Chain A
Amino acid sequence: MDSSCADFRRAQMSRRLFLASAGAFVAWAGMPRQGFAATRQPRLLTVVLRGAMDGLAVVPPVGDGQYESLRGEFAIGVSGRQGVLPLDGFFGLNAALPGLHGLYAAGDALIIHAAATPYRDRSHFDGQDVLESGMAGPRGSASGWMNRLAEAMPRGEAVGPVSGLAASQTVPLILRGAAPTLTWAPPLLPPVSGDTAQRLLALYQASDPDLAQALASGIAVDLQAAGSDAEIRRARSMAEAFSNLAAGSARLVAAEDGPRIAVLSYDGWDTHISEGAEEGRLANLLTALDSGLMALREELDPVWDDTVIAVVTEFGRTARINGSDGTDHGTATAAFLLGGAVKGGRVLADWPGLGDGQLLDGRDLAPTIDLRSVFKGIARDHLGVDERTLASAVFPDSLGIRPLDGLVG
């Protein structure tokens, strides 16, 4: 990994190597370099949106007659309302994602809808656990499916073991396991998200005036640096932080002997109150996500044709808007695949409909695509891992969940 080390010194970034398994490293460290590598070096990056992204506001089904009656004044893109870029006529894309829309037009983005993990309850923790572990239920494994995938990838001409990159200070579950993992985070981490601070402030205001006052002042100090419009600044700093994270990790992944599997996390999607799909919180999150995805596109340019980026979230949100102009925990939602290797320019969905009888439990978008079949399709056709290994080692007990055909190529 020497050359990527040099990259980092140039970029003045720090990174730490965690060998989760010395055995795995030693087993591969002594591999001789076999001539000139002429084979493809496929890359897979996963962006985990934590907090449950509202697929109906991000990829609204503007062609579904029920959409407006469910979402009312918040149904963007219908009845003369703005806020949506056209996709295939039935679906639109939230206008806060112009970069993604450009990739879609170029055939490099595939949009998937009404997808979910096998998890059917509504706890963020357990939902993320299932998304990351690749198991059929929560708390079933201490390792993550991307780590097991790294172990299963054909070594080909790779000199060392296939290692994963966690763009964070610690390794998230999805990358934990026996395969060696690299973690990297920008030297200046963004402060604790405004969302956490706001939740704490509410807690303190109810019971601890001293702590409430100290925290309120602390938040004010944090925002002072910026001038008056705290909301704009927060949106901008979120976008900046995520773009830095994306660009830095992409530089690592693009390096010839860098990690080929990487994970980025982006928190803050739990929009229970004042969701703001057109302008406000969700729109700001999407703007930041879009700039991060564009940073990935730019930095991965040399290896773009060998790249797939999966953007996923633990579950969706309620089909109806709740009493505080937000949405609560739901089930199915949208996901994106980006990259030069992706057969994009289309929306992949077996649309379940939004009628009362069609919603899951009368409240959520019903899942018709299992995210594991998406991941398995990428793993088989992009990374070259055979189906038997996928059904046993990478996604245990998933024999009935067939890989989706034609996602890449």
Chain B
Amino acid sequence: MTTMQAFTAYSRFGLGARKGDLALIGDPVSALIAEISDPAQGAVVEPRLDDHAAIITTINKHQKDRAQARDSGKAKGAYRDPIKVWLDRQGPLERGVRVSQALAAPVGYTERLVAFWSNHFAIQGDMNEMSRALAGAFEREAIRPHVLGSFADMLLAVTTHPAMLRYLNNAVSVGPHSPQGSKLGLGLNENHARELLELHTLGVDGGYSQADVTALAAVLTGWTVHYRGDSAGQFVFRLEAHEPGPQSVAGKLYDQAGFEQGRAVLADLAASPITAQHLADKFVRHFMGDAPDPALVASLAGQLHDTGGNLAALAAGLVLSDAAWSTPPNRLKSPQEFLWSAIRALGVAPDGTQVQDLLEGMGQPLWNPSSPAGFPDAAMSWLGPEAITARIDAAQTLALAATGPDDPVVVAQAVLGPALQPATQEAMERAESRTQALVLMLMSPEFQRR
């Protein structure tokens, strides 16, 4: 007997049910808790994927070769763009990992957490080619290891990751009174410091001032990336670029020397109750909708603060609440959530390139939001006329790829269970082709909303 709760577990908190999943989940709350208690969840094993240092080294080498080729007077176009060379090989592989992770996940709560935190610390792939090349590695290295760990560790991993340092320009931010700054006349770049306060930690209403932004930018000077030698592509703290002296951030004075100054600020920002409130509110909205119960948010924020930023406890706290199961589905799945649940329902495995094509068509390509704020995450974000017709096109493409012999209605009963509405089933039974029936299932309100 499949319960509505089992469906909710897969639809609201997971990546959607595969054939047979609903019947086997057992107690849905326990299944979700079990998944986020397993440290192996969320980890990626793909030896062919390079780490960020190898990626940066590869690209730098290509760029040098290209410059030499240009200087030696080779015809334009004779030399292939190095980053394109790399992306042609690595990009589909990187996206393919997301596909296999999505298909293999038991319920998919951990993968949803990966997506949530990856979008919280968004990297905009098409900012420049280096960003695009690094975005997947950034998620693997800075996000995945910490989604069931501590927020403070994730914040430090993100803020020291070359992908983020380059994307938000901290890699080129230099203290004006540092040896390098005074010698070369270089100065601060506040971009990273501002987003760290506004998006990553306290939130836009977190009560910080412009002075706090400037002070934090000074604190972070010298946090950059090795660009040559054996350590090329690795994070490095450069004392010669660091603004000397104490800084006051959010009402507290930090007089540590060098890198430790920034580490201390990040630890305090991660532990702040204001940050906990910001994160809990965003987290609950993502799963439950645009009108979260303030009491639930307050209780999760308190828990996050009391546990020292334990993200697994935050995830568990949400599914242990009554509202998690009593709130009716009210959010349209994002294109990515729709895609993962569709391929799990149909049992099809598109490759990384096909996935990106589908996601671009629907407006949510992997690792490529339009700003550091990430992809929009409100109920109405994806409910536009063109967005819906694009979604139908994607549903059609996926349904065409589902070549199994199963009766579409049987598939719908298996993956929607008690949520399958009589009107949807009737429309499917009346469909004129298997493909059309599956499109109707994928586009039905009960499949689209979570």
Contacts and interface: CB of A to CB of B under 8 A. Distances in A.
A200 B443 contact: yes
Chain A interface size band reads 35 or more
Contacts of B401: 170
A221 B386 contact: yes
A270 interface: yes
A219 B389 contact: yes
A128 B400 contact: no
Interface string A201-233: 011101110110011111111100000000000
Given A199-B440, A211-B445, A168 B400 contact: yes
Interface string A271-290: 01000000000000000000
A370 to B, nearest CB: 22
Contacts of A126: 407
Contacts of B433: 50-51, 124-125, 128, 267
Interface string B74-114: 00000000000000000000000000000000000000000
Given A124-B433, A125-B408, A203-B440, A210 B385 contact: no
B440 A200 contact: yes
24 contacts: A50-B432, A124-B434, A125-B433, A125-B437, A142-B405, A168-B400, A176-B403, A191-B389, A192-B439, A196-B392, A196-B440, A197-B389, A199-B427, A200-B392, A203-B427, A207-B445, A211-B383, A211-B388, A217-B385, A218-B386, A218-B389, A220-B385, A221-B385, A267-B432
B377 to A, nearest CB: 17
B170 interface: no
A269 interface: yes
B384 to A, nearest CB: 6
Interface residues of B, number: 38
Nearest to B383: A214
Given A50-B432, A169-B397, A222-B389, 11 more contacts: A126-B407, A169-B400, A171-B403, A196-B392, A196-B440, A214-B385, A214-B388, A218-B386, A219-B389, A221-B389, A267-B436
Contacts, number: 107
Contacts of B421: 207
B385 A51 contact: no
B430 interface: yes
A107 interface: no
Interface in A160-192: 168-171, 173, 176, 191-192
Interface string B429-450: 0111111110110011100110
Contacts of A129: 405
Contacts of B444: 203
The dominant DSSP class at the A interface is helix
A170 B436 contact: no
A197 B400 CA distance: 16
A128 B434 contact: yes
A350 interface: no
Contacts of A142: 405
Given A124-B432, A272-B430, A196 B439 contact: yes
**Nearest 7 pairs of A and B residues by beta carbon:** A270-B432, A51-B432, A217-B385, A218-B385, A218-B389, A208-B445, A139-B405
Nearest to A173: B403
A183 to B, nearest CB: 11
Contacts of B431: 124, 199, 270
Contacts of A218: 385-386, 388-389
B141 interface: no
B387 interface: yes
A178 to B, nearest CB: 15
B396 interface: yes
B445 A170 contact: no
Most buried by B among A142, A211, A219: A211
Nearest to A133: B405
